[in-house]
Amino acid sequence: MNKQLILASQSPRRKSLLSQLGYQFETIAADIDETQYGNENAECYVERLAKEKAQYVFDLLANQDNSLVIGSDTCVVCEERIFGKPKDLADSIEMLSSLSGKSHQVLTAIALVGKNSITCDVVTTKVFFKTLTEDEIKQYWQTAEPQDKAGSYAIQGIAGQFVKSIQGSYSAVVGLPLFECAQMLSKAGLSSILPMSTE
Ligand SMILES: Cc1cn([C@H]2C[C@H](O)[C@@H](COP(=O)(O)OP(=O)(O)OP(=O)(O)O)O2)c(=O)[nH]c1=O
């Protein structure tokens, strides 16, 4: 019997990306504390949060034997600094000024939790930004787009024009790496409407 798939997320972008893979799934938002530990590097941080989101939702389920939960987390890393979502305009100015005119990394972790199983993968993408003026950053803030996005920008939105190029996975920057996600779900034995082979 095929397992039931649940996406542990309140993000409409993750829902839309997962839909592209052709799986039937439900979404349930995870409510976890996203505070970073003092000694935690970016990779460990996103991996832990992706696992905690998936585990949080898995623990709510009645039918755990027959369920798999996928959780994900994204952060932006620039010169050793880790950026999550901006708290306010000042935070957004701080983040986007740091990203202006150089490259940074976007880290997205995906975790799949089932009964007695956890698998996880962290995908890193390099993003090259044009130089931004403070006026541009302030105007961008007024659009509301950056407010719920790691690093205070959305590559899939207005901020697409800030991005000169990327090396890596576009879908991972938006919030869910499609290639890695498809491989993980396929290896876990889930079938989508599109049969996948694993590499
Ligand atoms: C860099 C970047 C991030 N983002 C988004 C992806 C994530 O949704 C968000 C980072 O916050 P997350 O805490 O990873 O996710 P979330 O709170 O939106 O959703 P949930 O925890 O319920 O799954 O930033 C974009 O949409 N575009 C971008 O270009």
Is 194 contained in some domain?
A: no
Ligand 1 surroundings by CB, under 6 angstroms: 9-11, 13-14, 29, 53, 72-74, 76, 85, 106, 148-151, 153-156, 173-175
Residue 197 lies in a domain: no
ipTM of the complex: 0.98
Q: Could you tell me the two tokens for 154?
A: 């959305």
Domain hosting 171: range is 4-187
Quick check: is 62 in a domain? yes
pTM of the model: 0.96
* pLDDT confidence band for 118 (50 / 70 / 90): very high
Q: 11 C-alpha to center of ligand 1: Å?
A: 7
**How confident is the prediction for the chain on average, in pLDDT?**
95
Q: From CA 67, how far away is CA 81, in angstroms rounded? A: 36
Dump pLDDT digits (tens) for 39-97: 999 999 999 999 999 999 999 999 899 999 999 999 999 999 999 999 999 999 999 99
* CATH number for the domain harbouring residue 179: 3.90.950.10
User: Is residue 181 in some structural domain?
Assistant: yes
Residue 91 lies in a domain: yes
The two three-digit tokens of residue 176, written as one number: 């869910």
From the centroid of its chain, how far is CA 115?
A: 23
Confirm whether 146 is domain-assigned. yes
